[in-house]
Amino acid sequence: MTSWIPTIGLEVHAQLSTNTKLFCRCKNQFGLAPNSSTCPVCLGMPGALPTLNQKAIEFATRAGLALSCDIQHTSVFSRKNYFYPDLPKGYQISQYDKPICLQGKLDTELGMVRITRIHVEEDAGKLLHKDSSVNQSAGSLVDLNRAGVPLIEI
């Protein structure tokens, strides 16, 4: 008989309720017509330069404080490269190596849950498959309104 103890880890993404996306001024609003809230920055067009949404950093910091995290004085955004149809840039901007928050906790009735990190990242777009309420075509379509929406990963 083994003395192993089951351990369960969760990765939770929370969308931040900012008015604009993480690195551009496009609206961060659910339910808009497909591809109506995009620009050269969130589409990754050559020469388009990102500008950080300070409100997203404020919201991430508040989440870290609520979860008793150590708020870092320095955090770094990096490109996480991968190819997927709903990621037009070919990379996702994320804080994995130097996140904004470290070592928090959440006290519950069932015990304490350790929080390893909270970092900020941008969301990818959304695939709309055939026969959905928005896509009546024979194949899949891509809605890039969600590309660049600010998230925290806990």
pLDDT in tens, 87-106: 888 999 999 899 999 999 99
Give every CB contact of residue 118 below 8 A, 6+ residues apart in sequence: 60, 63, 64, 67, 69, 99, 100, 101, 104, 152, 153, 154
The predicted-structure confidence for 93-147, as pLDDT tens digits, reads as follows: 999 899 999 999 999 999 999 999 999 999 999 888 766 666 556 677 889 999 9
Residue whose pair of structure tokens reads 């006290």 in the numeric block: 107
Residue among 74, 73, 64 at smallest CA distance from 102? 64
Q: Which pTM was predicted?
A: 0.86
Q: How far apart are CA 42 and CA 111, in angstroms?
A: 41
